[in-house]
Amino acid sequence: MAHAEKITPRSQDFSEWYNDVIMQAQLADYSPVRGCMVIRPLGYRIWELMQRALDDMFKATGHQNAYFPLFIPESFLAKEAEHVEGFAKEVAVVTHTRLRATGKAGAAAVEPDPASELEEPLVVRPTSETIIYAMFAKWIQSYRDLPLLMNQWCNIVRWELRTRLFLRTTEFLWQEGHTAHATEADAEAEARQMLGVYRQFQEEWVAMPVLTGRKTESEKFAGALRTYAVEALMQDNKALQAGTSHNLGQNFARAFNVQYQTAAGGLDFVWNTSWGVSTRMIGGLIMTHSDDNGLVAPPRLAPIQVVIVPIWKNDEERGQVSGVGGQVKDALAKAGVRVEMDLRDLKPGAKYFDWEAKGVPLRLEVGPRDVAAGQVMAARRVKPAAGGKAPLALADVAAAVPKLLDEIQRELFEAAKARREANSIRGVTRTQFLEFMNGPGGFAYGGFCGSGDCEAQIKTETAATIRVLPDPEFQSPEQPRTCMWCGKPSVAEAVWAQAY
């Protein structure tokens, strides 16, 4: 085991703390390519668990997976004006198809072969609306072909100069759902449904409470009619957009000529939606739950849910405790628990430290006295209010541990929700808003006049943006009457925050 480094306290430097947690837990690392990251096995396991849960939810709502090319003809991107404007500044462009030797020594011994220049450059997908809807135009003929409900799991590239592991990288992994519908109402229902799927996933799996709502015109997806988002509040009181769902209207259908014959025999453009979540959610998971001892992983997404640590002083004890530990491991594995046993030749304290940094929700210690008493000692990664370790009878372990993991999952969600509410203020005035955003920060609810000018001024002065115009469930009991910034009549309550 590498020598354990100290984690920078969260209160001292949140950004350093976040990086230290990732490095100590071995979730990801920086890559030789600036802006890109390497996802290490434990981090990738979290992504696999996220994928599996979400994929089941997508399929249960009628979607099928497909795969579209990484390369998109440059001209495709230009077909939807708003869309190209939204992505132009971060697109990687492929112009050549091979290298040739320069005859010079060293790293620059090769260069793009001028003879291989592409007639039309290709862009590396920043998102796949254009190429997918070009194919939909081929596949959709009649109203009988609708709705067409697809999803793809892939990587995308949006050029970044600053890197923040899992939050801001040039290449990242995600899923993008793409659907086509006969009517605006069907597309709207789909966009809302998938927002609900994201919410359910974030709350039940990531244990991360989210607000749902609509984005303003200035914050919506380039080319969309309406964008909806799920927004979470991190422990530094900055918001994280953890998923978006767009009603694209007929913008892309018109650009790519996706038409269908209606039941009445006419011809009409389809209505599209797209929706996506990415490896950014792993950043959300880390910043929602973790502490100064390292990663805290919610049990449902923890690569290892339980670690068994046998404790011995001599070989005889080692045989005894590892034998019992092995039985516990088998029983838990049979009960569907992701469990490991740590038989490394290290002091117990060093093992505890290591597994805590890696976020394992539950540790079971087995010493000679526990074996004699027919029990193990259970220690939670996040101590309950009552604190301390609790004995678990060996006969009960397989039944008790899954229940305990469920309880931990619930407690993490409740704690995160309580923290979010404690860091939200409602009915703000302009003065309160400025104090809040220059001070602790968090979610500020207030009236909004609907003007992009107010949004722009607020962003310049405080760096805060409207995260969502919240859905009714999240709106304040009393709706504001005036814009908290300019005093004109309010058209909607808005939630502001500084954001990632």
CA atoms of 69 and 155, how far apart (whole Å) = 11
CB 477 within 8 A of CB 429: no
Choose one: 146-154, 221-229, 343-351, 451-459; the region binding Zn ion (CB under 5 A): 451-459
| Between 176 and 219, CB nearer to Zn ion | 219
CA atoms of 175 and 127, how far apart (whole Å) = 10
Q: CA geometry: angle at 358 spanning 288 and 406, to 5°? A: 60
| Between 195 and 483, CB nearer to Zn ion | 483
**What phi-psi label fits residue 463: left (phi over 0), alpha (psi between -120 and 50 degrees) or beta?**
left
Q: How many residues bind Zn ion (CB under 5 A)?
A: 6
CB 363 within 8 A of CB 408: no
Choose one: 56-64, 223-231, 268-276, 447-455; the region binding Zn ion (CB under 5 A): 447-455
Contact between 485 and Zn ion by CB under 5 A: the answer reads yes
Instruction: State in angstroms the smallest separation of the CB of 453 from Zn ion.
Output: 7
Contact between 260 and Zn ion by CB under 5 A: the answer reads no
Amino acid identity at 410? R
Instruction: State in angstroms the smallest separation of the CB of 445 from Zn ion.
Output: 15
| Between 49 and 486, CB nearer to Zn ion | 486
Instruction: State in angstroms the smallest separation of the CB of 473 from Zn ion.
Output: 25
Full strand arrangement of the beta sheet holding 71-73: 71-73, 117-124, 93-96
Amino acid identity at 247? N
Number of other CB atoms surrounding residue 352 within 10 Å: 18
Q: Cite the beta strand spans of 319-396 per DSSP E.
A: 339-341, 362-366, 375-380, 390-393
Contact between 454 and Zn ion by CB under 5 A: the answer reads yes
Instruction: State in angstroms the smallest separation of the CB of 257 from Zn ion.
Output: 40
| Between 191 and 492, CB nearer to Zn ion | 492
| Between 56 and 453, CB nearer to Zn ion | 453
Choose one: 88-96, 214-222, 355-363, 478-486; the region binding Zn ion (CB under 5 A): 478-486
| Between 415 and 486, CB nearer to Zn ion | 486
Amino acid identity at 88? A
Give rounded-to-5 percent helix, strand, coil for the chain.
40, 30, 35
Choose one: 11-19, 443-451, 468-476, 490-498; the region binding Zn ion (CB under 5 A): 443-451
Choose one: 255-263, 295-303, 428-436, 482-490; the region binding Zn ion (CB under 5 A): 482-490
The 8-class DSSP code of residue 241 comes to: E
Instruction: State in angstroms the smallest separation of the CB of 452 from Zn ion.
Output: 10
Instruction: State in angstroms the smallest separation of the CB of 446 from Zn ion.
Output: 10
| Sign of the dihedral through C-alpha 200, 303, 177, 150 | negative
For Zn ion, the binding residue among 449, 458, 492, 494 (CB under 5 A) is 449
Instruction: State in angstroms the smallest separation of the CB of 458 from Zn ion.
Output: 9
Contact between 337 and Zn ion by CB under 5 A: the answer reads no
| Between 378 and 483, CB nearer to Zn ion | 483
CA atoms of 287 and 298, how far apart (whole Å) = 12
> Between helices 280-289 and 397-422, what is the axis angle to 10°?
90
Contact between 233 and Zn ion by CB under 5 A: the answer reads no
| Between 126 and 480, CB nearer to Zn ion | 480
**Helix and strand numbers, DSSP H then E, in the chain:** 14, 25
CA atoms of 210 and 230, how far apart (whole Å) = 6
For Zn ion, the binding residue among 36, 78, 94, 486 (CB under 5 A) is 486
| Between 72 and 458, CB nearer to Zn ion | 458
Q: Which two tokens stand for residue 326?
A: 């092995």
For Zn ion, the binding residue among 483, 492, 494, 497 (CB under 5 A) is 483
Cα 229 to the chain's mean position, in Å? 12
Interacting residue ranges for Zn ion, rule: CB under 5 A: 449, 451, 454, 483, 485-486
